[in-house]
Amino acid sequence: MNTNKDIKDLQDEDPQLSSTLNSIRNKAESYQVPTGYFEKMEDEILTRIQTKNKSVFNSVLNRLKRPQVSVPIGLALAAITLLLLTKKPVQENSVSIPQISQEELINSGIYIDMNEDLLLESYFSATPEQANLTEEAVFFNEAEQYLIDHKMDVNLIMNEL
Amino acid sequence: MSEYSDKELLDLFSKEESKHLAFNTIMRKYREKVYWHVRRMLVDHEDTDDVVQNCFIKAWDHLDGFRGDSAIFTWLYRIASNEALSFLKKKKRRFFLPIHDVESELSNLIDTDPLYSGDEIRKALDKAVIKLPERQRMVFNMKYYDEMKYEDMSAILGVTVGALKASYHHAVKKIEQELSED
């Protein structure tokens, strides 16, 4: 257990780095970027800024195109389709529309995070007192938490996608 | 490139005719620092590219409301830090990956990524860093690689200087332990 003196020592000075850590520090960056990446970055960001409001749909579509998203979604949709096709009706004459809650969607793996811009828009429209934005209000997590805390209808936002 | 002060950049950004000039200057000045800060957290270039772009788009959207209470650099790092942590959180939630699997995934990426060129000892360090808890990893990266002042880190992460020093101390000890076992 740390004593008060130990804690004070920790706070007073940085730990001495081992010779290994000291030597690695001066080596070149181990992560690389594609050639010309930084030079193109500004143009790409400015293009995205200019087109972002026009095409929220494309942003979602681009995410869906990524294999780590599209493969699980495809598998989950196939599983749900199979489940629905093999499910026997409870009553012969009743017509039921399958109700899938957001929790079930998450459990089935096809849940897609809401578009952050739409979520933020909802947050700001629900909180007119935030009209004069502070930098703290920029963060997605706070907006997300606010919507959850206030039980806002996320389906409405999802329908806009 | 002309060196504008933060105040000058904010003034330029507030005028329609110089808005793009101001924002381009900010991007050129901070793009690499922000990128490497995020890349060391996410490892994957494509993920990092997404997060960095989102970070600058948020900066564009909200720079008008930025009051200049902190430096633009601090503010951008703060957005980038939150975006990176939020991305990792969403990644775990989306794919139901336990922490261990996320570590394994990032660690495997170091072995297979064509955009990784570290030698064996560097690879061991990068893998040891991945094993740290996310916030501790961020603290370690900011101090060890970026040689950032604790006061700046405190403004970015909203953690006291004392807690940051303790966090860095523990991170260094864990990493040295890992490296000595390899």
Those residues with Cβ within 8 angstroms of residue A39's Cβ, 6 or more apart along the chain or in another chain: none
Provide the pLDDT for residue A1: 46
d(CA A159, CA A138) in angstroms, rounded, equals: 24
Those residues with Cβ within 8 angstroms of residue B93's Cβ, 6 or more apart along the chain or in another chain: A106
d(CA A41, CA A49) in angstroms, rounded, equals: 12
d(CA A98, CA B69) in angstroms, rounded, equals: 52
Q: What are the chain A neighbours of B54 within 8 Å (beta carbons)? A: 116
* pLDDT tens over chain B, length 182 residues: 558 999 999 999 999 999 999 999 999 999 999 999 999 999 999 999 999 999 999 999 999 888 888 899 999 999 999 999 999 988 877 666 666 677 888 889 999 999 999 899 999 999 999 999 999 999 999 999 999 999 999 999 999 999 999 999 999 999 999 998 86
Q: What are the chain A neighbours of B20 within 8 Å (beta carbons)? A: 46
Provide the pLDDT for residue B98: 67
Provide the pLDDT for residue A113: 46
Is the pLDDT at A93 greater than 70, yes or no?
A: no
Query: Chain A: residue nearest B89 by CA?
Result: A141
Is B99's Cβ below 8 Å from some Cβ in A? no
Local confidence band at A72 (pLDDT 50, 70, 90 cut-offs):
confident
Burial A26-40 (b: 16+ CB within 10 A, else e): eeeebbbbeeebeee
In the 8-state DSSP scheme, what is residue B64? G
**CA-CA distances (angstroms) from residue B165 to A78, B82, B181?**
50, 20, 25
Provide the pLDDT for residue A51: 81
Higher pLDDT, residue A117 or B39? B39
Task: Encode pLDDT of A42-52 as tens digits.
Answer: 999 999 988 87
Whose tokens are 């507030």? That residue is: B14
Q: Which amino acid is at B58?
A: K
Is the pLDDT at A158 greater than 50, yes or no?
A: no
The minimal CB distance from A135 to the residues B57, B75, B119 is found for: B75
In the 8-state DSSP scheme, what is residue A148? H
Provide the pLDDT for residue B115: 94
Provide the pLDDT for residue A73: 79
